[in-house]
Every structure is written in C-alpha cells, then in structure tokens.
Structure 1
Amino acid sequence: MTTAMDQTNTIPVVDFARWNSDGPSRLRVARDIVDACQKVGFVYIINHSLPESLLDEAFHWSQLFFDLPQEEKLKAPHPEGWAIHRGYSWPGLEKVSGLEATSADDDQERAKGLREVPDIKESYDIGSENNPTQPNQWIPDESLPEFRSFMTHFYRECFHMGGEILQALAIGLNLDENHLLNKHSGLNNQLRLLHYPPVPASALEDNRAARCPAHTDWSSITMLFQDDCGGLEVEDVHRPGYFVPATPVKNAIVMNVGDLLQRWSNGLCAAWSTMLGCLLTDADRLRSTSHRVTLPPLADRFEGQERMTRRRFSIPYFLSPDSDSVIECIPSCRGEEPAKYEPITQAEYNRMRASMQY
C-alpha cells in the first residue's frame, strides 16, 4: 500500500491486481484495505476488475441522461416520501445531512431548517430489478434507448466488484472470506448517477446553496467513480471539521466505509473519539468518515466571467445488507470493551436516515 502525503491527497492507495494472486499477496491486499479503513475510512483501489471501457460507457450514459429535457427525466420521478429511494431526483428535492430521525415533531423541525440551504444537484437511483419493495423507476425506452439495458448490466458488474471488496475486508478482519458477502444478496444495493450543474461560485461561498453537505453513508461500503472535476473532500480523522480533497484518480474506485460496517466492526468515528476524549484502538475497527462535495480545486474552479462552477459527474454504488439483516458487533471486533451500538436492522437504520433526506 502506498499513501500520497501531499496537500491534495492523504487517502491510501491499494493495488487490487494482487487480489487474484497467491495466498500471501491476497492477504496483503486484504490487510492494506482494512488498515486504510481503520486509519482514514477511505481508500483508492486501482487495477480492479472493472474495465476502463465500462466506466467510460457508464459516464457517457449518465451524461446522456442528464442532458435530456427535464420533462423526459420527470417521466421517472423519485416517488413521494422517503420509503422508496429510486428514480430521478431534481435539484432541491433531496437534502443530504448526517442527521438521524428521532421523534416525528423534531424531525419535521430539523428537516425544515436543513432545507433553508438547498443542494444544487440532480440524481437518478437504480436498484436490483428483483427487489419488490424498491421498484426501479425507468424512463421509457424511447426516451433513451439501451439506457436501461446498460445500467442493469453495470449494476451487476459493480456488485461483483463490491463482493470482492467485502471478501477482502472479511479476511482483513480475520473472518471467514464470505462472512460479510453472505449478508449482501445484491437486492438492497443502489447505483446512483449524480450531476452537479453549474452554479455561481458566490452562492456556495455565501452558503446560499450547497452541492452535497458533510455526511456519512448509510451503506456497508460505497464504491465511487468520479470525473476529473474534483470537489469531493474527506474529513481529516485527526482534525474533526477539517476536510482534505479526494483528488480524482483516473479509473480508481474511491471506496469508503459506511455506517453499517462501522457498527458491525464496533468502529468509532473521529469526531466521537474526540468528544469522548479517548484514543482509537485496535477494537475501534473501521470508521465511517464524513465527506462532502464543495468547490473544486482553485485551478479548475470557475468558468467564465460569472464565476460559474464546472459541471461535475460522479457515480456512487452503495452496497447494503438485506433489509432484515441485524447489524450488531462482530465478536472479534469487540475487544475488552462493550459494543458501542445496540443491534439494529438495516431497514430500521435506513428509515432513521432516509426520513431526514426527503
């Protein structure tokens, strides 16, 4: 594993080409990924099994979709409310945050406050074609022929790659190779196409608008593919509240730990460890690190005299366990301390987070 320690990149890089090698090389990959997830919560994975041509095609289809007239995209709208997380979300519909739902009255008040600063982005969410509780919302084939066919294929290919990462994490945690993968049938994963349209830089600088505020992911792990625009930032685990750029690396997967894997591994996020005045130990296994999307680096930040931001495209793929899976501390991750979290199902945790977002 190598780590770039300059001011633009402090995220470890793991070469996944060794995963299909002999035992020692395979184990080294697993340990490097777990080490990165303990120390940073993020890792660049290079030389993985997803071909460059496939990723280029995914971004091509994503741009074609977002370039459609609004009335065409609205033929597959995100269903009202938070329960079904599929289809097209127009700018302002979604408000990302790190908050969890508590009581109904408090939720409404907090959600109202969050939306005073809108997120200027649009997205299209796709899941398994076999999940009856989360039906996909497809635009008509005549609106964008072959779009559905490609995206269902890409969804399956991403799940295969994500399954390999889950196996590596399990080995790195001294578990059976399929311990985590067995809890992820693929039914509950989510492929998201994201487009950040141009916006006046002053709106972001003055906090009148946002791209994607600081948050953690609700998944077990997230695989992110980004274009060359930049703007993704990751919280420095040693300095809570300070963010460092996750500089785009061509064809790399930016993989991060989600909240559910943090709970499974008894992890403690950096902000909590600071508040509690404790050091992170080996028992604090994997961390779900806060991240955000904001202005890109200075050299690429603006276009034109009106200081408009560049368009940005990214494609995250969220791997989540099946909805009835109970998320509770893996015994080998507990150490001498009690589990930090009460057991919870994926469905209940999803409700706590999603109800604040829509």
Structure 2
Amino acid sequence: MSVPIIDFSAFRNGNEVERRELAGRLVDEFKKHGATRLMNHGIKGDTIQKAYQWSDQFFKISDSEKEAIANIRDANPQRGYSYVGSEATSKANKRGEDGEFQICEDDDVAQDLEDVKEHFDYTRDGDPDFPTPWPSEASLPGFHDWMEGVFLDECQTLARDILTAIEIGLDLPKGTLTGCMESHVDELRIQRYPPLSTEKLRTGKIKRCHPHTDFGFITLLFQDITGGLEIEDRADGGWLPVVPTGEPTEVGVYISDTLVYKTNGHLKAAVHQVTAPISLKDKEDGVLPERYTIALFAKADRHAHIGPLPQFVTAETPQRFPNLTALELHNKRVGQLYDARPEAATPVVSLA
C-alpha cells in the first residue's frame, strides 16, 4: 500500500462530469492519507528537470555566498538560505495522549533531534513585508529570473487548480479557498539532503526530516528518485513509503495545517518524514545518497482569517480551531521550529 498516482489531465481537459469525478477522487484520497500524487497536471517534465538543475547549481555556490543570503531564524516566513541543522521539524508536532500528531506549542518535545538538510526559500518579487535575499546574478546568472518568473508561477497555477478541485469535491462555492490567495504569498523551497550514514540514523537523534505537518493550504512536493519519504499510515499505524516512480511529472500533494483549520478537521494534515530508502533500511554500514526535493507551500493571504468555515461547524462537530489569520498561524508554526514562538499561544489541537 502506498500513495496512489492520479491523472490530473481531466481537470483542465475534461467535461464537467469528468472534472467532478476527478475532484471526488482527490478528496477521497485526502481523507484516507492526507496526501496523493498527480501526473499530467500541466507542468512539463523538462521544466521540473530544469528546476532540479538550478537546485544543484545553487547548492554548489560558496559558503560565503550562502551566508550572505541566510534566512533569519525567527517566527517570520522563511527567506533565503538555511544551513544543515537549522530547521528542527521535530519541534513542530508531537503525539497527544490519543496517539495522534498535534501542533506543538511548548517545549514538551525532544530538544536534541536534528534534521540533515539545507534549503533555499523564496517568494514572488515585490513582497513588501518579507522580501527574498537572492544570490547575485554574477554568481548564478539566470537563476532568479527563471525560478521566480517561470517555475514559481507554474507551481502557483497548479496549486490553485488543485484547491479549486478540492472546492468541487467538498461542494464548496467556487473561490471559497482560492479567493483567500490573491496576494500570491506562496513560498517555494529547493532542498538538498547531503549523504548520510545509516550508522548515524540508528542513533535515533538524526533523520533527514522528522515527522511533521506543513503550514499552508497544501504542499506540492517534487522528489528525485532517491527515496526515503514516508507518510503516516492512519489505518494500520507506522509509515507508508512514498517510493518515486520515475514518472517525470510526478508531484505529491499534501494537506497542510491551514486547510485543516478551514475545514474544522474534516480534512487532516499529512504527517510525513524522510528517513532511509527501503533498500537501505536494514543496512548497518550503508550511506544514504544525496537527495533533492522541491516544495511549493501554497499559502493563504497573510491577513485572511482561516478559522473553520460555517459548513463544517455543527452540533456534532463544534468549532475546533481558533479564527487566526494565516500569518498568525504561520508565525506560530515557524517560531516553534526556531525557538521563537510568539508570546500569545492558542490552544493545542490535533491535526492527525
């Protein structure tokens, strides 16, 4: 059992009946796993491959150039370069007494767990509040223009198509979700996992990425063929490997915290982690090869209210989540990663 791959072409090319059938299947899969995978979604394989090529070039620039565009480790949206070990996803979520993962807002999690990855986060040009520090044009000629002007734009278009399909699948009026995304504050991340020995993994202190949920509406995740990504198995416990198929347009779609809030938990966030690929699970002296991923975190407008929609609040399912703004939720979540939590905390809720 694993996360299925759905042909998304009917969304743009099919008739109304076919679009509704596709939307219903998407929502059914999100209810099972919090995630699915798509192909034939409009972004060409060559475009995705070019994004990987730019990622490889970015992570080969000098340490001094990376330090010059370093992300500030506070509760604000991440911008620029983050070094290996900077982000501690182990602090973002924890298991509650019922065994389900929940948002963590305190220090009641292990403080000595490490993620072994580095990444560069950016958004569209012209963001007046949280601008992106880009590498110099002399260092990476063409990187900024293509990654921001071409690839980010295509990912944002796909994310809005998927959210429109979710609206259809949930019988929500058109624009219920996408109407909260007019400022295009989505973030795109290119990410590199350096080689890692299985010996270090066995200590239990280190993973490529610890179990967590993401913060926006949905996440689009492109992964290379290395493997190691897993999602929580809600039905039987444990973890389901998301083994790459090698299909050039394959992209994972993960329900994230903001959509959980909006649906009052009707859709639950995908808890995921990155560990050893299946072929190296039992190797005592193996080495995990270098791994690359690309993620688009599709975000609501910062001052949009993301509390539960009235359709999802009933006598049987009372309101579970506060009516925060998207930025307030984002600050709470990122602040947890970097030990920079906002002073005002909201009640802990289950997301799994």
TM exceeds 0.5?
yes
Deviations 1:186-239 (A, max 9, x none): 532110011000012111111242210000111110000000000100001123
User: What is residue 289 of structure 1 aligned with on the other side?
Assistant: 270
Query: What is the RMSD of the two structures over their aligned residues, measured on CA atoms?
Result: 1.9
Q: Match for 2:121: what amino acid? A: D
- Does structure 2 retain, via aligned residues, the 8 Å contact 1:128–1:186? no
Count of matched residue positions in the alignment of Structure 1 and Structure 2: 323
Distance 2:200 2:280 in 1: 19
Which among 205, 210, 214 is matched to residue 211 of structure 2?
Answer: 214
User: What is residue 138 of structure 1 aligned with on the other side?
Assistant: 134
- Does structure 2 retain, via aligned residues, the 8 Å contact 1:301–1:310? no
- Does structure 2 retain, via aligned residues, the 8 Å contact 1:101–1:355? no
User: What is residue 275 of structure 1 aligned with on the other side?
Assistant: none
Distance 2:142 2:206 in 1: 35
- Does structure 2 retain, via aligned residues, the 8 Å contact 1:43–1:255? yes
Distance 1:54 1:323 in 2: 29
Q: How does 1:1-150 map to 2 (within 5 A)?
A: 5=1, 9=2, 11-20=3-12, 21-97=14-90, 98-99=92-93, 100=103, 102=105, 107=106, 109=107, 113-114=110-111, 116-150=112-146
Distance 2:135 2:279 in 1: 37
Q: Match for 1:229: what amino acid? A: T
Q: Match for 1:28: what amino acid? A: E
Q: How does 1:181-200 map to 2 (within 5 A)?
A: 181-200=178-197
Kindly indicate whether residue 333 of structure 2 is the aligned counterpart of residue 353 of structure 1: yes
Where does the alignment leave 5 or more consecutive residues of structure 2 unmatched?
Answer: 94-102, 339-352
Deviation at 1:119, TM superposition (A): 1.2
Q: Which moved more, 1:117-126 or 1:204-213?
A: 204-213
Question: TM-score scaled to structure 1, two decimals?
Answer: 0.85
User: What is residue 308 of structure 1 aligned with on the other side?
Assistant: 287
User: What is residue 307 of structure 2 aligned with on the other side?
Assistant: 328
User: What is residue 270 of structure 1 aligned with on the other side?
Assistant: none
Q: Match for 2:172: what amino acid? A: L
C-alpha distance 339-110 of structure 1, shift in aligned 2 (>3 A): closer
- Does structure 2 retain, via aligned residues, the 8 Å contact 1:197–1:311? yes
- Does structure 2 retain, via aligned residues, the 8 Å contact 1:225–1:316? yes
C-alpha distance 306-239 of structure 1, shift in aligned 2 (>3 A): closer
- Does structure 2 retain, via aligned residues, the 8 Å contact 1:327–1:344? yes
Deviation at 1:176, TM superposition (A): 1.8
Deviation at 1:145, TM superposition (A): 0.7
Distance 1:90 1:128 in 2: 22
Distance 2:173 2:281 in 1: 45
- Does structure 1 retain, via aligned residues, the 8 Å contact 2:260–2:269? yes
Deviation at 1:82, TM superposition (A): 3.0
User: What is residue 297 of structure 2 aligned with on the other side?
Assistant: 318
Distance 1:331 1:190 in 2: 28
Q: How does 1:158-197 map to 2 (within 5 A)?
A: 158-197=155-194
User: What is residue 154 of structure 2 aligned with on the other side?
Assistant: 157
C-alpha distance 91-299 of structure 1, shift in aligned 2 (>3 A): closer
Deviation at 1:340, TM superposition (A): 1.8
- Does structure 2 retain, via aligned residues, the 8 Å contact 1:118–1:210? yes
Q: Which moved more, 1:169-178 or 1:213-222?
A: 169-178
- Does structure 2 retain, via aligned residues, the 8 Å contact 1:229–1:300? no
- Does structure 2 retain, via aligned residues, the 8 Å contact 1:265–1:329? yes
- Does structure 1 retain, via aligned residues, the 8 Å contact 2:74–2:334? no
Distance 1:229 1:179 in 2: 37
Deviations 1:128-170 (A, max 9, x none): 2122111101011111110101110211110011110010001
How much identity, in percent, do the aligned residues show?
A: 30
Distance 1:90 1:57 in 2: 23
